Structure 1
Amino acid sequence: LASAGTTEKAELMKKAEDAGAGAVVMKSLFEQEVTRIAPTPRFRVLHHNLGNLKTFTLYSYEQASIWGPERYAEEVTRAKKTVGIPVIASINCITDEGWASYARRMEQAGADALELNTSCPHGSITFRGHEVHETILKVVEIVRREVRIPIITKLSPQLTIPLALTKEVERLGSEGVVIFNRLTGLDISTETERAVMHEGYAGHGGPWAIYFALRWISEIFPHVKLHISASGGAMDADDVVKFLLTGATTVQVCTAIYLRGFDVIRKMNEGLEQWMSRKGYQTLADFRGKVSGRKVLDINEVFRTHCQVAEIDPALCSACGLCAKVCIYFAPQKSGEKYAIGDRCDGCGLCPELCPKRAIRMVRA
């Protein structure tokens, strides 16, 4: 599980373990004390009105752990006695001494590993506008000197070159990275003309976030030896498979649990096992990274011959006219009571994706 309210207490970590989670990252401990108090409410599901297309954003003002370092350390120790899976503490600090002392305390408490949360959308290095790259490297150096347990650097999607920074934190001794944290966003009420909820910026994520993370993991994986923990947009087993195919060592889950409960973990594991069985894979290593590096074609390698066009099955066509409405090539034309694709089709492939009756398919030109 990713660091969130779903992993704040040992009882929740036990629920995660019982549902099949392989490890938990505890809700982050922040040095900045104001972030330990979360306002209410702090969650909003933003539904996007796109007709038949369904998507959403989980917009949240979830803050840090409510505890200070000593109480947080006690919960680390309690969690280690409660669950048998790895317990990873997570810290976010604003001073060099904070990073050092908090890291030492988490190791003393028995944490199996330590996540360096350098990218929280509410109070991160990235959001404060400092020299982001250099500051993150400094944090890794400080913590690496202080502890022997593995450290995992949680990166922001708002970095300029994630690959370059990943290689540098590996060089400094970070055993893993999380790709990525949530983005910092803003939603506005057009009635009150103010930012929603608490009139501040908030974290936003959801199923749409997976594609950016997949893109960068696929590029990073061939160039590093450290572990990559994928985070952002994993809602079902197919998403887990995609992350593993790009090279992820582990896949973190957050939004899916908030919206569907802990049982989603079991369903993801079962779906992954079924997919592996169907594909003939015995271990995750058999397919990890299969879609990464040179397996993803660059701009000069993409096959560009126009060899497919759309075709409408008149038996399925309801004559709703959506294809004609959205086509910028004027290819769909009324043919009697139905629509047919004329010779102006450019083969873009959009109309089969939008047809509510699935009456359109792509065929060879």
Structure 2
Amino acid sequence: MPVIVVSVVGTIAGLLIAGVGLWRTVRDPRGFLAYGVVALGLVLAGVGFSGWRYEAGDHLPLLLLIGISLGVLLLFNLLGYPGLVVFLIWSGVTILRRESRTLGNGLALLAGIGLLFLPGTLERLAPQGEIRDDPWYMIGYGVHTFAILVVAYFSAVFALFLIGSLLYRWRRSSTRPSAVVVLGSGLIQGEVPPLLGARLRRGVEVQRIFTPAPVLIPSGGQGADEPRSEGEAMAEYLRDELGVPATQIQPETESRTTRENLINSRALLGSKHDPITVVTSSYHVFRAALLTRRLGLTAHVVGARTAWYYLPSAILREFAAVLRDHWKVHALAVLAVLIVAVTLAVVLVPAMAWSP
């Protein structure tokens, strides 16, 4: 088949794939797989179009594609990667100085240190010396290839998570909700801390947009170290600090997790399909949105502002939770990567070793 035919087919297929992904994101933005479909389609279309124009004698699209790719790689390696390492370490040290010293708050620092040593670690895993077809060299080649592919996979998934999070947060909804559900986040000595207070203020802002005002549902049960339920403390804060009439507040006081927050709050209302707005912290918006989709809720999630130094660790914690929630998918992906690495080690290494 002529190259130009393959290129044209690739361009059309890429545009169709990107279109399907875009349609899915517009129809329901609560999911980042569709963003990956859009990215895959655009890459395929770009490569196909460049090859098509190259075969037709127009070299500019291919040169632009190569130039943009090299430019992105160069900027990432010279500025982006070092800058990310410095920022994560700086943020990690800052949050540990200002907040409690927990593993969750230390994720940014751990990630920064891990990225600092990642290039050297991958280089050490690379097999040394001339290419050989003996078992030890093939094992070393397979391990090195597997490590690179796993890093590349989770980097791509994390990039899609960030893109999906940003695009979802920019999306607006004009539908009047039947309720505004404010998710709890823990009390300090039975009182509402600043982070939770920011969620409640954001919830009141959302409530006041609509007429008549939807009911506010402060949602949260009582933890083992808390003297009362979060829902009760949040309701008191709404009444006494923010001036919300008691008739507009319907606390939910039994939940222990975000999933229970949503299920129990939904049970306080009418139909499962009545729209609701969920309020949480900015870093938690996308994962909460993913969860509302899995629960079949008609929901839009908005976020309250979070201190900048808190965001990196919080985002990494959210990403880890998303991986946990979909662990079977990622386990299958890692298994596929392992099969690819073993195949390359068994097939490619002997071929390179035997070639003159």
TM over 0.5: no
Q: Specify the TM-score bucket, using the shorter chain as the normaliser.
A: under 0.3
1 or 2 for the larger relative contact order (CA 8 Å, sep ≥6)? Answer: 2
Greater per-residue helix proportion = 2
Which structure has the larger Rg? Answer: 2
Structure 1 length normalisation: TM-score? Answer: 0.21
